[in-house]
Amino acid sequence: MKALLALIMLSCLSLSSHAKQPTVIIVIDDIGHSYELGQQAIQLPGPVNYAVLPHSPNGPKLAELAHQLGKEVLLHAPMSTIDGTSAGPGELAPNLNEQQFTSRLQQNLEAIPHVTGLNNHMGSLLTQMPKPMAWLMAELKRQQLYFLDSRTSPLTVAEQTAKRYHIPHLKRDIFLDNQRNPAAISRQFEKLLRLANKQGYAVAIGHPYPETIAVLQQALPALSLRGYKQQLASRFLLPTSQPCQPQQALEQLLFKPCSSNSHSSPALATIK
Protein backbone atom coordinates (compact mmCIF):
# COMPACT_ATOMS: atom_id res chain seq x y z
CA MET A 1 0.00 0.00 0.00
CA LYS A 2 2.83 2.40 0.88
CA ALA A 3 4.52 1.59 -2.42
CA LEU A 4 1.29 2.35 -4.30
CA LEU A 5 0.89 5.67 -2.51
CA ALA A 6 4.49 6.54 -3.32
CA LEU A 7 3.89 5.80 -7.00
CA ILE A 8 0.77 7.97 -7.01
CA MET A 9 2.66 10.84 -5.38
CA LEU A 10 5.47 10.52 -7.91
CA SER A 11 2.93 10.56 -10.73
CA CYS A 12 1.36 13.72 -9.34
CA LEU A 13 4.75 15.40 -9.05
CA SER A 14 5.59 14.38 -12.60
CA LEU A 15 2.31 15.76 -13.92
CA SER A 16 2.77 18.98 -11.95
CA SER A 17 6.25 19.44 -13.40
CA HIS A 18 5.05 18.60 -16.90
CA ALA A 19 2.27 21.19 -16.61
CA LYS A 20 4.91 23.92 -16.33
CA GLN A 21 5.96 23.31 -19.94
CA PRO A 22 4.55 25.95 -22.29
CA THR A 23 1.74 24.27 -24.18
CA VAL A 24 0.96 24.73 -27.87
CA ILE A 25 -2.47 23.85 -29.25
CA ILE A 26 -2.70 23.66 -33.05
CA VAL A 27 -6.09 23.68 -34.77
CA ILE A 28 -6.50 23.16 -38.51
CA ASP A 29 -9.74 24.72 -39.77
CA ASP A 30 -11.79 24.18 -42.94
CA ILE A 31 -11.32 20.43 -43.13
CA GLY A 32 -13.74 18.73 -45.52
CA HIS A 33 -13.39 20.20 -49.00
CA SER A 34 -10.21 18.69 -50.47
CA TYR A 35 -9.64 15.09 -49.43
CA GLU A 36 -5.98 15.17 -50.50
CA LEU A 37 -5.08 18.31 -48.55
CA GLY A 38 -7.21 17.22 -45.61
CA GLN A 39 -5.44 13.87 -45.50
CA GLN A 40 -2.03 15.57 -45.59
CA ALA A 41 -3.07 17.90 -42.77
CA ILE A 42 -4.36 15.03 -40.64
CA GLN A 43 -1.03 13.25 -41.02
CA LEU A 44 0.83 16.14 -39.38
CA PRO A 45 2.92 14.85 -36.47
CA GLY A 46 1.72 14.88 -32.89
CA PRO A 47 -1.58 15.79 -31.25
CA VAL A 48 -3.27 18.18 -33.68
CA ASN A 49 -6.93 19.28 -33.64
CA TYR A 50 -9.09 19.40 -36.78
CA ALA A 51 -12.18 21.58 -37.25
CA VAL A 52 -14.40 19.90 -39.84
CA LEU A 53 -17.07 21.68 -41.86
CA PRO A 54 -20.54 20.11 -41.68
CA HIS A 55 -22.08 18.91 -44.93
CA SER A 56 -18.72 19.19 -46.70
CA PRO A 57 -18.05 16.48 -49.32
CA ASN A 58 -15.17 14.83 -47.47
CA GLY A 59 -15.84 15.93 -43.89
CA PRO A 60 -17.10 12.62 -42.46
CA LYS A 61 -14.32 10.56 -44.08
CA LEU A 62 -11.62 12.93 -42.86
CA ALA A 63 -13.11 13.05 -39.37
CA GLU A 64 -12.99 9.25 -39.27
CA LEU A 65 -9.36 9.30 -40.40
CA ALA A 66 -8.43 11.89 -37.78
CA HIS A 67 -10.11 9.84 -35.07
CA GLN A 68 -8.34 6.65 -36.19
CA LEU A 69 -4.98 8.44 -35.94
CA GLY A 70 -5.69 9.66 -32.41
CA LYS A 71 -6.34 13.26 -33.42
CA GLU A 72 -9.18 15.46 -32.17
CA VAL A 73 -12.27 16.47 -34.15
CA LEU A 74 -14.20 19.70 -33.71
CA LEU A 75 -17.26 20.87 -35.58
CA HIS A 76 -16.33 23.96 -37.59
CA ALA A 77 -19.76 25.55 -37.28
CA PRO A 78 -20.64 28.03 -40.06
CA MET A 79 -21.91 31.35 -38.68
CA SER A 80 -23.13 34.55 -40.30
CA THR A 81 -20.71 37.34 -41.21
CA ILE A 82 -20.94 41.12 -41.03
CA ASP A 83 -20.38 41.58 -44.78
CA GLY A 84 -22.95 38.95 -45.74
CA THR A 85 -20.47 36.44 -47.14
CA SER A 86 -22.04 32.99 -47.03
CA ALA A 87 -20.50 30.72 -44.40
CA GLY A 88 -21.68 27.65 -46.29
CA PRO A 89 -24.15 24.82 -45.70
CA GLY A 90 -25.55 24.66 -42.19
CA GLU A 91 -24.98 28.36 -41.52
CA LEU A 92 -26.21 29.53 -38.13
CA ALA A 93 -27.88 32.84 -38.86
CA PRO A 94 -29.51 35.66 -36.86
CA ASN A 95 -32.88 35.23 -38.60
CA LEU A 96 -33.38 31.82 -36.96
CA ASN A 97 -35.52 31.49 -33.86
CA GLU A 98 -34.29 29.37 -30.96
CA GLN A 99 -35.92 26.15 -32.16
CA GLN A 100 -34.63 26.59 -35.72
CA PHE A 101 -31.17 27.52 -34.48
CA THR A 102 -30.90 24.52 -32.18
CA SER A 103 -32.25 22.15 -34.82
CA ARG A 104 -29.70 23.35 -37.39
CA LEU A 105 -26.89 23.12 -34.86
CA GLN A 106 -27.91 19.56 -33.99
CA GLN A 107 -27.97 18.63 -37.69
CA ASN A 108 -24.48 20.07 -38.09
CA LEU A 109 -23.19 18.10 -35.11
CA GLU A 110 -24.78 14.89 -36.40
CA ALA A 111 -23.11 15.37 -39.80
CA ILE A 112 -19.58 14.89 -38.42
CA PRO A 113 -18.51 11.88 -36.32
CA HIS A 114 -16.30 11.92 -33.21
CA VAL A 115 -16.84 15.60 -32.37
CA THR A 116 -15.57 16.66 -28.94
CA GLY A 117 -15.84 20.44 -29.34
CA LEU A 118 -16.92 23.26 -31.64
CA ASN A 119 -15.42 26.42 -33.08
CA ASN A 120 -16.90 29.07 -35.33
CA HIS A 121 -16.36 29.20 -39.09
CA MET A 122 -16.50 32.90 -40.00
CA GLY A 123 -19.16 34.30 -37.65
CA SER A 124 -18.03 37.92 -37.36
CA LEU A 125 -21.70 38.90 -37.00
CA LEU A 126 -23.21 36.02 -35.06
CA THR A 127 -20.51 35.83 -32.39
CA GLN A 128 -21.36 39.44 -31.44
CA MET A 129 -24.98 38.51 -30.68
CA PRO A 130 -25.74 37.45 -27.09
CA LYS A 131 -28.95 35.54 -27.76
CA PRO A 132 -27.66 33.13 -30.46
CA MET A 133 -24.48 32.59 -28.43
CA ALA A 134 -26.62 31.66 -25.42
CA TRP A 135 -28.53 29.15 -27.55
CA LEU A 136 -25.24 27.75 -28.81
CA MET A 137 -23.78 27.30 -25.33
CA ALA A 138 -26.97 25.74 -24.00
CA GLU A 139 -26.73 23.02 -26.65
CA LEU A 140 -23.00 22.52 -26.14
CA LYS A 141 -23.63 22.09 -22.43
CA ARG A 142 -26.41 19.59 -23.13
CA GLN A 143 -24.12 17.60 -25.43
CA GLN A 144 -21.09 18.12 -23.16
CA LEU A 145 -18.81 19.67 -25.77
CA TYR A 146 -16.19 22.38 -25.34
CA PHE A 147 -15.97 25.65 -27.28
CA LEU A 148 -13.11 27.35 -29.09
CA ASP A 149 -13.68 31.00 -30.01
CA SER A 150 -11.94 31.62 -33.32
CA ARG A 151 -12.25 35.35 -32.60
CA THR A 152 -13.22 36.49 -36.07
CA SER A 153 -14.51 39.69 -34.47
CA PRO A 154 -12.93 41.79 -31.71
CA LEU A 155 -16.49 42.32 -30.42
CA THR A 156 -17.20 38.62 -29.89
CA VAL A 157 -19.30 37.71 -26.87
CA ALA A 158 -18.88 33.98 -27.44
CA GLU A 159 -16.12 33.44 -24.90
CA GLN A 160 -17.88 35.31 -22.10
CA THR A 161 -21.12 33.44 -22.88
CA ALA A 162 -19.28 30.11 -22.68
CA LYS A 163 -17.93 31.17 -19.31
CA ARG A 164 -21.41 32.08 -18.08
CA TYR A 165 -22.71 28.66 -19.12
CA HIS A 166 -19.72 26.90 -17.52
CA ILE A 167 -18.58 25.52 -20.87
CA PRO A 168 -14.88 24.55 -21.00
CA HIS A 169 -13.43 26.93 -23.55
CA LEU A 170 -10.39 28.33 -25.29
CA LYS A 171 -9.81 31.27 -27.58
CA ARG A 172 -7.65 31.61 -30.64
CA ASP A 173 -4.44 33.55 -30.05
CA ILE A 174 -2.75 33.35 -33.48
CA PHE A 175 -3.80 32.82 -37.08
CA LEU A 176 -0.85 31.08 -38.70
CA ASP A 177 -1.57 31.65 -42.35
CA ASN A 178 -3.38 34.90 -43.07
CA GLN A 179 -0.42 35.34 -45.41
CA ARG A 180 0.05 32.16 -47.41
CA ASN A 181 3.81 32.05 -47.72
CA PRO A 182 6.22 29.89 -45.71
CA ALA A 183 8.24 32.79 -44.30
CA ALA A 184 5.16 34.55 -42.93
CA ILE A 185 3.75 31.31 -41.53
CA SER A 186 7.06 30.56 -39.82
CA ARG A 187 7.06 34.03 -38.26
CA GLN A 188 3.57 33.47 -36.92
CA PHE A 189 4.63 30.11 -35.50
CA GLU A 190 7.51 31.75 -33.64
CA LYS A 191 5.09 34.39 -32.37
CA LEU A 192 2.92 31.53 -31.09
CA LEU A 193 5.85 30.11 -29.12
CA ARG A 194 6.67 33.48 -27.58
CA LEU A 195 3.06 33.84 -26.51
CA ALA A 196 3.08 30.32 -25.03
CA ASN A 197 6.14 31.29 -23.00
CA LYS A 198 4.33 34.36 -21.70
CA GLN A 199 0.91 32.81 -21.01
CA GLY A 200 1.89 29.22 -20.34
CA TYR A 201 -0.08 28.12 -23.41
CA ALA A 202 -1.20 29.48 -26.77
CA VAL A 203 -3.73 28.44 -29.42
CA ALA A 204 -3.04 28.73 -33.15
CA ILE A 205 -5.44 28.23 -36.03
CA GLY A 206 -4.22 27.32 -39.49
CA HIS A 207 -5.72 25.87 -42.64
CA PRO A 208 -5.00 22.89 -44.90
CA TYR A 209 -2.89 24.95 -47.28
CA PRO A 210 0.19 23.29 -48.80
CA GLU A 211 2.35 26.09 -47.36
CA THR A 212 0.97 25.65 -43.83
CA ILE A 213 1.33 21.88 -43.97
CA ALA A 214 4.94 22.18 -45.14
CA VAL A 215 5.90 24.58 -42.32
CA LEU A 216 4.19 22.49 -39.64
CA GLN A 217 5.76 19.27 -40.90
CA GLN A 218 9.12 20.81 -40.05
CA ALA A 219 8.17 22.80 -36.94
CA LEU A 220 6.04 20.38 -34.93
CA PRO A 221 8.60 17.57 -34.44
CA ALA A 222 11.02 20.10 -32.92
CA LEU A 223 8.60 21.38 -30.27
CA SER A 224 9.59 18.95 -27.52
CA LEU A 225 13.29 19.57 -28.13
CA ARG A 226 12.61 23.29 -27.75
CA GLY A 227 10.83 22.74 -24.43
CA TYR A 228 7.20 22.94 -25.54
CA LYS A 229 4.32 20.52 -25.13
CA GLN A 230 1.96 19.97 -28.06
CA GLN A 231 -1.54 19.08 -26.89
CA LEU A 232 -5.07 18.17 -27.90
CA ALA A 233 -7.59 20.80 -26.85
CA SER A 234 -9.66 18.44 -24.71
CA ARG A 235 -6.60 17.11 -22.90
CA PHE A 236 -5.50 20.65 -22.14
CA LEU A 237 -8.96 21.37 -20.73
CA LEU A 238 -8.82 18.46 -18.27
CA PRO A 239 -9.39 19.84 -14.77
CA THR A 240 -6.19 20.53 -12.89
CA SER A 241 -7.96 19.69 -9.65
CA GLN A 242 -7.97 15.99 -10.57
CA PRO A 243 -4.47 15.33 -11.96
CA CYS A 244 -4.18 11.83 -10.51
CA GLN A 245 -7.58 10.43 -11.42
CA PRO A 246 -7.71 7.48 -13.86
CA GLN A 247 -8.47 8.38 -17.47
CA GLN A 248 -12.21 8.95 -17.86
CA ALA A 249 -14.55 10.06 -20.60
CA LEU A 250 -14.32 13.70 -21.61
CA GLU A 251 -17.83 14.47 -20.41
CA GLN A 252 -17.16 13.03 -16.96
CA LEU A 253 -13.98 15.02 -16.53
CA LEU A 254 -15.11 18.34 -17.91
CA PHE A 255 -18.63 18.70 -16.63
CA LYS A 256 -18.84 17.10 -13.16
CA PRO A 257 -17.86 18.72 -9.88
CA CYS A 258 -14.66 17.49 -8.28
CA SER A 259 -14.14 16.50 -4.67
CA SER A 260 -10.77 18.18 -4.18
CA ASN A 261 -10.51 20.16 -0.96
CA SER A 262 -8.44 22.82 -2.68
CA HIS A 263 -11.14 23.70 -5.23
CA SER A 264 -14.69 24.59 -4.30
CA SER A 265 -15.81 25.32 -7.86
CA PRO A 266 -16.79 22.69 -10.48
CA ALA A 267 -13.91 21.03 -12.27
CA LEU A 268 -14.07 23.20 -15.35
CA ALA A 269 -10.78 24.30 -16.84
CA THR A 270 -11.81 27.75 -18.05
CA ILE A 271 -9.02 29.11 -20.24
CA LYS A 272 -9.13 32.78 -21.13
Domain boundaries, given as residue ranges, for the chain: 29-255
Run of H or E including 205: strand 201-206
Among 3.30.43.10, 3.40.190.10, 3.20.20.370, 3.60.20.10, name the CATH number for the domain at 29-255.
3.20.20.370
Per-residue model confidence (pLDDT) at position 87: 94
Per-residue model confidence (pLDDT) at position 129: 98
Per-residue model confidence (pLDDT) at position 2: 41
Q: Where are the alpha helices (DSSP H) in the chain?
A: 2-19, 35-42, 59-68, 98-111, 130-143, 158-164, 182-199, 210-219, 233-236, 250-255
Residues 6+ apart with CB under 8 A from 138: 102, 165
Residues in the chain: 272
Report pTM. 0.83
Give the angle 64-66-70 at the CA atoms, nearest 5°. 115
Mean pLDDT by 10 residues, the chain (272 residues): 39 46 98 98 99 98 99 98 95 98 98 98 97 98 97 97 97 98 99 98 99 99 98 83 37 40 28 36
Per-residue model confidence (pLDDT) at position 272: 34
